[in-house]
Every structure is written in C-alpha cells, then in structure tokens.
Structure 1
Amino acid sequence: MIRQFELVDKVRAYDQNVDEALLNRAYVFAMQAHGTQTRASGDPYFSHPLEVAGILTDMKLDSDTIATALLHDVIEDTVATVEQITDLFGPKIAEMVDGVTKLSKIEMQAETTRQAENFRKFLLAMSNDIRVLLVKLADRLHNMRTLHHISKPEKRRRISLETLEIYAPLAERIGMHVLKDELEHLSFGNLDAEAMESITARLNFLIEENPDLEREMVAALQELMDISGIKATVNGRIKKPYSIWRKMERQNISFEQLSDVMAFRVIVDSEDECYRALGVVHRRYSTIPGRFKDYISTPKRNFYRSIHTAVIGPKNRRLEIQVRTHDMHAEAELGVAAHWQYKQGTESVEGSQYVWVRELLEILEHAQDPEEFLEHTKLAMFQDKVFCFTPKGELISLPRGSSTVDFAYAVHTEVGDHCVGAKVNGRMVPLRHQLHNGDQVEILTSKAQTPSDRWDAFVVTGKARSAIRRHVRHTRHEEFHGLGRSLIEKACKRLGLDFSTAAMQEAASVLNVGDLDALYVAIGEGVLPEEAVLEAAFPGFQMDTRSDKLPAVHDDWQHTRGQTGPITGVDSSVALHMAECCHPVRGDRVVGIRVEGRGVEVHTIDCGKLASYDDKPELWVDLGWREAAEDDVYYVARLHLEVLNERGALASIAAVVAKAGGNMSNLEILERDPEFCIMCVEVDVQDVKHLNDIARALRVNRVIERVDRVTG
C-alpha cells in the first residue's frame, strides 16, 4: 500500500503546483474514517481509495481529483457527512465526492429501475464536473481488478455486465481507450469464460506459430521510416480478446479473416508526416480494400485522431497499421485526461467535447420513466458510428444503421420534429433511408409536420426515439382525453343524466384515478368502462347491461378456387388453405401446418409464423407443387414498394402490373411524406416466375425506388 509521502511525490512529479496540504489532509481523513474496515479480499478498506488515487496519478490528474479519489467512499461507508467534507476540503471537492456517492449509495442492481435511477443521478453529477466520471471509472477499474475475491458468481456477472454496458462505453466516449480495453477484458472473462478461453488460445497459437512476427514487423516498419527520412517510433500490440470476439460476432467472420488481430503503430512528429508515412507504407505493402480510415481529417466523436490502414504484410499476414502523432497517441491512450482541461476551469459540459453528455441530458428530460431512459442511453453510447455532413460541412456522428430522421434529431430536436423529407448527396430519399460514411444530408422541414409513431420502427438513436415517443405520448394523451370526455358526455345524454365537471371529479375521487384529466384519459383508453364511471358519479345509478347489438361475425377463411389441384403431399379430401401471413405462390418452397377444424395451412418455408410450431413436429406436413398446373389458378403475392409521391404514380404501377399479365387486388399506404410513399400491394400472379417478372418490371420504372416481396 502506497504511503502518504509517496503519493504526494507522484503528483509532484508531473504537477509542480501540487496542493500537498490538501492531499495530506485527505489521506489522513480517509484512513481514519475507514478505520478497521476490510474488503472481501481481507485487505484494509483504505487500500481501495488509495489504489483509485494511484490510478488517477498515472493519468496525471490534479490535486482536487486525487483528493476526491481518496475521499470517494467516506460518505457512503463511514459516519462522515457532506458538511464535514465541505468544511475540511471546500465545496468543490465535497460536490465531486457527493456526486460519486450518489451513484454508489444504492449500488446498481440487476433490477432495471434501480440501475436506471442510479445512472440518472450519475449523469447529472458528471454533467456538472467531468472529473466525477474520471474518479468513478478509476473506482470501477480497481473493483474489476479485485472482482475475483467476490464469492458469488451471479454478483460477479451482474457487476461485469454493468461494466460492459455502462462504464466501458463511457470510457470510450471520453477517449480513454486503455482504460476501456481493460474494463472490457476483465468483464468478458466473467461473462463468457469459454469464449475468452477459446480466443486466448487462438491468440497464443498465432504467437507461437510466428514468435518473431511482431519483432520483425516493427523492425521492417522502422527501417522503412528511416530510409524515407521520417522520424518515427514504431510499436506493436495484440488486439484484446473481447474486441476480437465482438468484431467476429458483429461482422459474422472467422478469426482468420480478421485483419487487425495484430496492429502496429507508427508515431511521428507532425500531421504532415502522418500522410507521408502512410504513403510509404502503401508503396511497400499491398492494401486491403475497404480497410482505410482517416480519423485525422474526420475525427471520431470522442476526438480520437489517427489513420488506420490494413495491408498484406510478411508471410501474407493481414495486418493493421495505425499512423498518428505523439499528441494524438497521448489523446488515444488517456482521452480527456490528456487535455487536462480542468486546469483551465473547463471541466463542465459546455465545451464541444462533451456534446454527448448534453445529448444524454436531453434523453433524460424526454424519457417517461427510468427504464426508458436507460434503454435510450445505451443506444446512444454503445454502437458503431457513421460520419455524415450537413450541407455546410458540419460533421454529424451517428450510430451505424441510422436513418435521415436520426440525422435530423442529431442536428436539433426542432429539426427532427418538423422533418418532412431528406436529400442524401443531392438525391431525394425516404425518411427511413439508412446513411453511410461520408453522406451529405440535407433535411427538409415544415412547421406543419409533427413526429410520426411509424418513425419509431426505424430510428436507432436514443435521442430520436425518446423525442418521438414523448410526442406520441403527448398526442395520444390529448386524443384519449378528448375521446373519453366525448364518450362520457354522450353516455350521460343517452341515459338522461346531467353531465357536470363536479360529478366527474367525484367519480375520479371514488375510483382513485387522480384528477379529472386522468379520468377522461382512462375512459378514452378503455381502462375504465363508462358504466363504472357513471355509477361512481351518480350514487344509486345502475347501468342496464342489456345490449341490442348483434354479435360480431368472424370472417371465415377465404378459399382459393381450385387450390387443391397444384399441391401434393396430402389426401384430396383434406381442406387446404393458403396462409394469409406469407401468401405462398406456385414455385415457392412450402410446408403445411395442420390446424384443428380448418385442415392444412400452406406456408412458405421462411414464414416467420412457423417458429411457433417448432416444438410441435406432429403438425407439420411436407408439401410440394405438381410439375404442371392443371387449372388456371392465380395466387396472391404481396410487394413492398417505395414510390415517388407524384401525380400518376399509382396509375403507372397499375399499368406495369397489367402489362405483365398480373392484377392489383389490394393496396395499402403504409407511410407518406411529401416526397415518398411506402405501400404494400397485393398482386394476383400465376407462379414465382410471373411474380419475379412483375417485380423486375416495377424496379425499372422511374417512379419506383425499391421493390421487395413480403413473405411474413
């Protein structure tokens, strides 16, 4: 355990303005406060805050942050109070200690609500001072290093999952890649030991197979730089098992297909030399297409800068090479800690570097409940990125798979709320269009537009989803409120009762639903039946439950004319029905499901509904099609179309289908904006070939952007 004077000496080594008196007071106070407390390992408890402080000294942080690390557990685990900390160490340190304590006081449990509530408190604390996050990350890192002392496997797993989902992404967001990598590595070992062991074994085999590869490649690159007159430092590193596993899962590739299992860094003095070094490497080694990324011209959202390229190196090995300056390397290793912005008093989230914190605060403001907030926060933090540009050249970073609506909300919530269309690289696209790296996006807006609940199906950012759901909740609340009031007024009029606000307020009180607004909403939603409200509002009144309404008639299955003719695999006496979920067409691979009272339903082999019958093999029937049709049967197929919203578009579609010998039997508009319509069209066809001919004819039509068959 590091001694008091050694800690002060470590800080003085990088900060000549160290506040020695502050550190000495914090050291003594924390040691006395924790007294004889011990950890699960049996070590004195004070060893933990001391180790956390040591981690932060390695990052060269200021005296206030080191003091906060020493004191971060005294409010939670001892009799010390915030008032004592304020009197002894000042309001700033007390605020930071309290910020960390608020997160730790109710340690995050598996229960989503408790986890979300704690994270809300943590977010508010770190939005006031980013150093709260640095202390908490160091605290979590030491806890993960000593996690093996916890005897309960389920607790180790819970803490590891929380670290992987919350703290590692936070470390990545502030550019602390070394810390992020270690948190992920320690978590992975507890969450999936088998995968960890397998990948580690593959890495060890790779090293044993080529023991000199790293040394030889470093020497080759160093010689290459020296010959080219570039002053550079070259080093190599093996990718962490978790990063390898995640990339294999995400890209569905094998270990051998990875190009960056072993990566080499070429560190130079200036940005110009980065591009010179890149040219030298590309002239010497063959590049792997699609693996070049320039994060110097387009930095990551956490301000990470470097050039990444992949090449075919010695012995035909796929290798990744990163080129960066010494400053870029320090920022890549320590992130925000390398900037030491707090010394200039810029530790709040007002700077552009912390725009992501402000976005999380917006999600916090819009979320309906803690669980929704946590869901949207994870979406905002834990995804790969694409980089797009506004027409003015401003860089917008988004999760991979983002739509133009996500882009609109990233620009500003008002832009997202009122977006009606989008141009990507000068071409009109649907709002659900997915963006790619380098796209230039222009959002078209209208004050008359409001968010649609259909957008929630394709947006991926937490900010967009929370804003859309907030608007939808507000809109539905108003609709249910108006509907509920109208229903109860009509019921009173129909039954000869005097409707009044006082009577309804009495009903709200009797039914314990809150205020009058909540009562109307509950009626509109169907949560409260009208008779219950009337009986509560007018004591002694009893609703006549007799009804003159006719019972609802269920539409029986539609039978296709002559449908048993082309199907083989069942007796001719068995009734066959074409499933309406997937609409099989002659030529599709089909299977039958026995349905009691209906005979056999015919499904396409890839119909999603079949999953519900996986555990009932006795209901499955092997079906097929006769080689030639014995009658003139047409089948219904469904097509999903994205169509330009212009005059004559529907007539053009109908003409194409008719010319190809088909017939449009039904059409449903799924989504419409000023530029595009998304629709589902049912087409009568003879077989799969006929359907494919119609689809091909539609795809070449000017008004149609996309055609897909719907099979589920």
Structure 2
Amino acid sequence: METIDALNTTLRTYLDSEQTASVNRAYYFAEQAHYGQRRRSGEPYVTHPLAVAGILAEMHMDHQSLVAAMLHDVIEDTGIEKTAIGEQFGSTVADLVDGVSKLTQIEFQSLEEKQAENFQKMALAMARDIRVILVKLADRLHNMRTLGVLDSKKARRIARETLDIYSPIAMRLGINSVRLEFEDLGFRVLYPMRAKRIEIAMAQARGNRTELVYKVRDQIKATLQQEGHQVEVLGREKHLYSIYKKMRSKRKSFSDIMDIYAFRIIVDSVDTCYRVLGCIHSLYKPVPGEFKDYIAIPKANGYQSLHTVLMGMHGVPVEVQIRTQEMEDMANNGIAAHWLYKSDGQSANGSHTRAREWVQGLLEMQQRAGNSLEFIESVKIDLFPDEIYVFTPKGRILELPRRATAVDFAYAVHTDVGNHCVACRINRRLAPLSEPLQSGQTIEIMTSEGARPNPSWLDYAVTAKARSNIHHFLKNQTRNDSMALGRSLLEKGLAGFHSNLDSLPEAKLADFLEHNGYNDLNNLLLDIARGNRLPTFTAQQLLHETFDDQAKPDGEGAQPVDIRGTEGFVVSYARCCHPIPGDAIEGYLSLEKGVVVHREQCNNLNDMRDHSERQVALRWDKEVEGEYLAELRIEVENRRGMIAVIATRINSMGVNIEKIASDVKDYQFTYVNLEMLVTDRVHLARIMKRLRTITHVHRVTRVKN
C-alpha cells in the first residue's frame, strides 16, 4: 500500500522542496476531510487519493495535478466547497478538482444519462485544463485495480465503461501504459474464464519459446554492436486483451498469434533509428507491406516509432519497433510526457497540441449535440480510429479513421468546406463522395456556395465531427423548413376566411397559444406541419370571435402551398404514384407524418376525398431541390443480358438505380421494372428517350400507380 513517505521518495526525484511540501499539505488536508470514511475494502478512504497521486507521480506529473489528485473526492464526498479549496491551494487546483468531481446534486432519469452528463461536464473542464482527464484516468485506474471488493454487477458495469470510454481516451492521449492496464483489468472482470485460459496458455508458450527469444534477441544485439550502435533490445510481452482482440478480429488460434516474436529497440537519436532499420533488414528479410514509419508521420496522439515485420530464423515472424528513449516515454506516458520534458525544451509539445485539438473538437461536438447521450455516442465514434493518412493539395497531412470518405475529409479541413462540398478529386481523379479513402492519397474538395449537406451522407460519413455537423445542419434545416411549411398551411387556412396571420390581434394569438399549451407560434406551426393540427380548423379557432364554429372557408384567395424538397420528415412522397417535380400534385395531411404528396391522378387520392379537411393544395416551388423516386416499366425482347445493358445505360447517365426487377410477359417479351432517382420530369424524359434507343427495347412507360 502506497504511503506518503514512499510518495515523497518519488517526488523528490523531480519536484523541488516547495512543490513537494504543497503535495504533502494536500495529503493532510484530504486525510482530515475524509476522516472516518472508509472504502469498501475497509481501508481509510485517504488511501485512494494517495494511490491516485502515486500513479501520476510515476508519470512525473506537475505538483498541481498531484494536489488535485489528493483532493479529487473532497468536493463530492465531504462538506468542503470549491471556494475553500481555492483559498487553500489556488484557483487552478480548485478548477481541476471541480472538473473531476461528478454531478451529484442533479436527479437523472437513467444511469446512462447520468454517466453521459458527467462525461460532458468533464469534457468542458478538459477544454480549460487538459490535466483534468489525466487525474480522472489515474482515479479510474486505481478503482479498476480494486474492483475485487465490489459486487459482480457493479464491477462489470465499471469495467465495461472503462473499456468503452476511458481506455480509448488513454489511447487517444498516447498513455499506453494506462491503456494496457485498463484493458487487461477490464478483460479479467468481463470475461474471467477467457482471461484465465489465455493466461495459462501464455505461461506455457513463454516457457516453450524462451530459448528462441534469447537467440533472436542476442543475434539482433550482436549485429547492431558490430555496426557500432549502442542500443537496448527488449522483448515485448503481449497483453491479454490484445491477444484476445487479435484472435477475434483475425479469426486466428492462440498458437498463430503467439508464434510472432516481438522486440523493441531503444536507440539514442532519430538518425540512428533509420540506420538500425537498415541493419535489421540486412539481418532478416522484411515482410512486404508491413513497414510503417510513424516517425515521419506520427499518429494522432503523438506516437512515434518505426515498425517492421521480419522473417526470422526457422521462418518465424519477428515484429520490431525502433525508437528513441524520448519516443519510448511518449509511447508509455503520451500527453503526460509533456510535463516530463517541458522544462528542458519543447520536445513533447506535439502530443500536447494534438490533445488540445482533440479536446477542442470534443467541445465543438458538445455544442452541436442535441443531448448528452448523443454527445457520448459521437465521442465513442471518435475514440475508435484505425488511422489512415491522406494529403490536402498543399501537402498537409490529415489523419482519419479507416473507411473515412471525402465527406469526412471535407469536415476535417473545415466545417464550412464540409457544409458546401459538392464533389471531390482523389489523386486528381473525379470520384464519388462515398468512396473510402486510402493512406497516401491526395484529396481535393470542390465546393459551391449554394450547396448544403445531404441526408444520404450519413450512410457513409464515419467521423464524429462530420456526422455531428450533418445532424446539426439537417436538424436546424428541417425545423426551419417545417416551420415555413406550417406557416404556409396556416396562411392558406386563414386565407379561406379572408384573413392572414399579420392581421390577427397579438393578444388573441397569445391567448390561443396559451390555451392550447404552446410556448410560442413556432411550436404551433411545427404541429400543423406534422399533421397533428388541421390548418383549416386552427384558422377557424383563431377567428372564432369573427366566425361562428360552423363557419366554412369559401376558398377564395387561397393559394397552393409550395414544396421545395427540403422540408425533411414533415413532407413525404407517396410510394404508390411516385410524384416528381413537374407533376401536378396534391397533399394529404397524415398524423405525425405531416404532408404526404400524391400525383393528382393517383387512385389512392380519390379514396381520401371523404376527408376533404385533410387535403392540401400543393405545387412545386420554382427552386425545388433533391432527387425523387420514379418508376419505369420497360418492355424488352427475351434476350440474355438485357437487364445488364439497361443498367449500364442508366449508370452512364449518372443516375442511381434503387431497385430493378423483371417479370416475364410471354415467350417473346419481358417486363423490366425499374425504380431510380431523378430530379424532375425533364430529367425522367431524357432517361426514357435514351432507353428507347437500346436495341430490343420495345416500349418504355412511366408507372402511374
């Protein structure tokens, strides 16, 4: 068990006496504040903050972080206020402690919501001071080490949360030693039997391969010494959870994974890294495609190293990582190494800058998210990148997760670039926005002032920044368009009574809104757009002092409502008749679905004539946008490959086919039914004209119902 004397021994190696005294003062303050409190294990509560400070001291964190670690539970678990901590230890420490403290005064509907709100609060505190998350990670690490005293259900919940959120955060910040311990401890709690079996198998494999490991290590060391390189060669022990993940993802047996021997070579300079790489490649044959240079292009969390895989003696694969001592410290401590190296140069500032950029991105996501649960889902997406590295036309390197597309790239460059993106070039070749990007490609984004995000982008955008920005834009756009539609419908209803919204007395409108439980006019308009209120009856209620309850609109002066195609979920297009811009249209107000648009000749619309109060006169706006589903019926001769010919012709016109099916008419002819996306009737007519030029196509007609 950590004692204050043992901690002081560590602190004296890198802190001055005044800073060490400050940490000691915080310990005695915490001891007094937590007096009488005990942990589940029965130990005095102060052993926990002491252990948390010990974890941070191993990372050589600054004294303010250590003081905050000592006091991190004081606000939450004792009666001491943040102001009292500020008076005793300064405002910086008080802010750190407050950032780590959970939201205890608020009642939440569910545990998930509480956890999400707590994380959101911590993210805001991280934006002010990144050390908040380092104290929190150390706090969580000690809690994970002592999970054994909790009941299994609570222990499993904490372990799952750690693997889902805190382990990826440690990885994102480059604190590898903490991440590995999180993963192994969490794995043992969630899958105790699997962990035990892998542990036993590892012990057996270690005994069987000791001799070969020593031989490979000695051979590498001897070769490098002959070339005049003084290096440290370490065997890398594989971790339980990483073995388990590899077995699952690569569908390999334990023996296949343990057959790979792993070594780390620590050298004195970056130049020596590349020289040692040459020596290693001359000793053993490198495996093609397995070399990665993370020194020239560091990972997003600042990690730097050379990685290579060699074919060693007896054909056994050998993984080798080559790095300097500073890179080794960075790999283990990540952003914490910023404080380790801060006094003697700016060497670790790269990781610190990247961490700050990531936290700034979190802040942006938090502002755009609808609620804390949506925010934490965005964070989870952001925390699991399998990176690729792509270039802007000017040579700037951007790191994106695997399967990222040009849409993700556009938002990574800038939010405005993403919002106005219309097309892209990949290595100077025009490519669809949905094409997954590969490492090393140069991406150029073309924008247009009038362009805006498309809902279909959500099908292939993978980064949290892109998805949250698209959601945010569409949510606002849908709301604005829905309010505009609701206003048009209400104005149409009022016009039937020779009135309009502007002529309504403000007091009358306010009384109506209050009586019907609306906060403002916008909420009423949204309800009308969704079909929950009929515009004619609403107009009648608004004017009930002027007209009696049985008054009917005479329809004079009523104008059809314009449909732009951007109204979102409050306007849908009937699948029975597939209306497209240019068609004569009529609408039907459906509960919760809003306005359903039909073609005027649609048979189903005739069945709805009985509910005339729900019918809405519609017309297409002059600046209608988007693509709409149209259905064609093509009569072709029974010849092999005709469907392929038709599909090829349509694809050559840049048209998306949604559905294609065939139906045999007789021995000579077949019907091909085709659903595709078009912009308007002119576009459809052009497609039909091209299809009629195909040999063996006899007739092309549009399906009306």
> Which TM bucket (shorter chain)?
0.7 to 0.9
SS of 2:496's equivalent in the other structure is helix
Partner of 2:313: 314
The Cα shift of 1:250 comes to 3.4
Residue 464 (structure 2) pairs with residue 456 (structure 1): no
Partner of 2:46: 46
Q: Deviations over 1:295-328 (max 9, x none)?
A: 0111001110001111222333222110111111
Decide whether aligned partners of structure 1 residues 632 and 27 sit closer, same or farther in structure 2, where only a CA change above 3 A counts: closer
Partner of 1:401: 403
Partner of 2:390: 388
Partner of 1:295: 294
* 1:466 alignment partner AA: S
Partner of 2:418: 416
SS of 2:465's equivalent in the other structure is helix
1:15-164 alignment, distance < 5 Å: 15-16=15-16, 18-102=18-102, 111-151=111-151, 153-164=152-163
Decide whether aligned partners of structure 1 residues 349 and 385 sit closer, same or farther in structure 2, where only a CA change above 3 A counts: closer
The Cα shift of 1:270 comes to 1.1
Partner of 2:520: 515
The Cα shift of 1:491 comes to 2.1
The Cα shift of 1:215 comes to 2.7
CA distance in 1, matches of 2:138, 2:109: 20
CA distance in 2, matches of 1:302, 1:105: 35
The Cα shift of 1:536 comes to 5.3
Partner of 2:266: 267
SS of 2:435's equivalent in the other structure is coil
Partner of 1:208: 207
The Cα shift of 1:9 comes to 3.2
Tell which deviates more after alignment, 498-507 or 110-119: 498-507
Q: Deviations over 1:152-206 (max 9, x none)?
A: x221111111111111111111111011110111112222234333433443342
Decide whether aligned partners of structure 1 residues 47 and 132 sit closer, same or farther in structure 2, where only a CA change above 3 A counts: same
CA contact (8 A) 1:274 1:325 kept: yes
CA distance in 2, matches of 1:375, 1:60: 33
* 1:36 alignment partner AA: G
The Cα shift of 1:519 comes to 1.4
Structure 2 length-normalised TM: 0.76
The Cα shift of 1:219 comes to 1.9
Decide whether aligned partners of structure 1 residues 246 and 536 sit closer, same or farther in structure 2, where only a CA change above 3 A counts: farther
* 1:421 alignment partner AA: A
* 1:135 alignment partner AA: V
SS of 1:420's equivalent in the other structure is strand
Structure 1 length-normalised TM: 0.75
Partner of 2:535: 530
* 1:63 alignment partner AA: H
1:296-695 alignment, distance < 5 Å: 296-340=295-339, 351-494=353-496, 499=501, 500=504, 502=506, 503-530=508-535, 533-534=538-539, 537-538=542-543, 666=674, 668-669=676-677
The Cα shift of 1:246 comes to 2.3
| Percentage of matched positions with identical amino acids | 38
CA contact (8 A) 1:341 1:347 kept: no
Partner of 1:589: none
CA distance in 2, matches of 1:531, 1:349: 62
Partner of 1:657: none
Decide whether aligned partners of structure 1 residues 348 and 216 sit closer, same or farther in structure 2, where only a CA change above 3 A counts: closer
CA distance in 2, matches of 1:269, 1:186: 34
The Cα shift of 1:119 comes to 1.1
Q: Deviations over 1:124-144 (max 9, x none)?
A: 111111111111110000000
Decide whether aligned partners of structure 1 residues 9 and 18 sit closer, same or farther in structure 2, where only a CA change above 3 A counts: farther
CA distance in 2, matches of 1:109, 1:283: 63
CA distance in 2, matches of 1:109, 1:263: 48
* 1:337 alignment partner AA: A
CA contact (8 A) 2:338 2:349 kept: no
The Cα shift of 1:528 comes to 3.5
Tell which deviates more after alignment, 417-426 or 528-537: 528-537
Decide whether aligned partners of structure 1 residues 553 and 663 sit closer, same or farther in structure 2, where only a CA change above 3 A counts: closer
Decide whether aligned partners of structure 1 residues 348 and 396 sit closer, same or farther in structure 2, where only a CA change above 3 A counts: closer
Q: Deviations over 1:266-291 (max 9, x none)?
A: 11111111111111212222322322
* 2:484 alignment partner AA: G
The Cα shift of 1:389 comes to 1.2
Q: Deviations over 1:327-371 (max 9, x none)?
A: 111111111112217967999999344211111111111112212
CA distance in 2, matches of 1:516, 1:453: 27
Decide whether aligned partners of structure 1 residues 192 and 6 sit closer, same or farther in structure 2, where only a CA change above 3 A counts: closer
1:227-266 alignment, distance < 5 Å: 227-258=226-257, 262-266=261-265
CA distance in 2, matches of 1:83, 1:505: 45
Structure 2 runs not aligned, ≥5 long: 554-572, 578-637, 656-668, 681-686, 697-705
The Cα shift of 1:507 comes to 3.3
Q: Deviations over 1:379-430 (max 9, x none)?
A: 1112211111112221111111100010111111111111111111121111
The Cα RMSD (Å) is 3.8
The Cα shift of 1:105 comes to 7.3
SS of 1:136's equivalent in the other structure is helix
Q: Deviations over 1:600-619 (max 9, x none)?
A: xxxxxxxxxxxxxxxxxxxx
CA distance in 1, matches of 2:104, 2:350: 21
* 1:69 alignment partner AA: A
CA distance in 2, matches of 1:544, 1:316: 92
CA contact (8 A) 1:232 1:268 kept: yes
The Cα shift of 1:372 comes to 1.3
CA contact (8 A) 1:130 1:347 kept: no
CA contact (8 A) 1:224 1:280 kept: yes
The Cα shift of 1:669 comes to 3.0
Decide whether aligned partners of structure 1 residues 670 and 166 sit closer, same or farther in structure 2, where only a CA change above 3 A counts: farther
Partner of 1:613: none
CA distance in 2, matches of 1:350, 1:527: 52
CA distance in 1, matches of 2:461, 2:338: 34
* 1:269 alignment partner AA: D
CA distance in 2, matches of 1:6, 1:495: 86
The Cα shift of 1:542 comes to 5.2
CA contact (8 A) 1:166 1:378 kept: yes
* 1:85 alignment partner AA: I
SS of 2:210's equivalent in the other structure is coil
SS of 2:100's equivalent in the other structure is helix
SS of 2:101's equivalent in the other structure is helix
Decide whether aligned partners of structure 1 residues 95 and 538 sit closer, same or farther in structure 2, where only a CA change above 3 A counts: same
CA contact (8 A) 2:303 2:327 kept: yes
Decide whether aligned partners of structure 1 residues 669 and 205 sit closer, same or farther in structure 2, where only a CA change above 3 A counts: farther
Decide whether aligned partners of structure 1 residues 108 and 36 sit closer, same or farther in structure 2, where only a CA change above 3 A counts: farther
CA distance in 2, matches of 1:328, 1:162: 29
CA distance in 2, matches of 1:534, 1:54: 70
CA distance in 2, matches of 1:424, 1:155: 49
The Cα shift of 1:447 comes to 1.4
The Cα shift of 1:101 comes to 1.0
CA contact (8 A) 2:61 2:340 kept: no
CA contact (8 A) 1:405 1:459 kept: yes
The Cα shift of 1:512 comes to 1.6
The Cα shift of 1:446 comes to 1.7
Structure 1 runs not aligned, ≥5 long: 547-551, 557-630, 651-660, 673-678, 685-689, 691-712
Partner of 2:628: none
Decide whether aligned partners of structure 1 residues 7 and 649 sit closer, same or farther in structure 2, where only a CA change above 3 A counts: closer
Aligned residues: 588
Q: Deviations over 1:16-51 (max 9, x none)?
A: 365233122211110011011111111111100000
SS of 1:210's equivalent in the other structure is helix
CA contact (8 A) 1:389 1:396 kept: yes
SS of 1:421's equivalent in the other structure is strand
CA contact (8 A) 2:643 2:672 kept: no
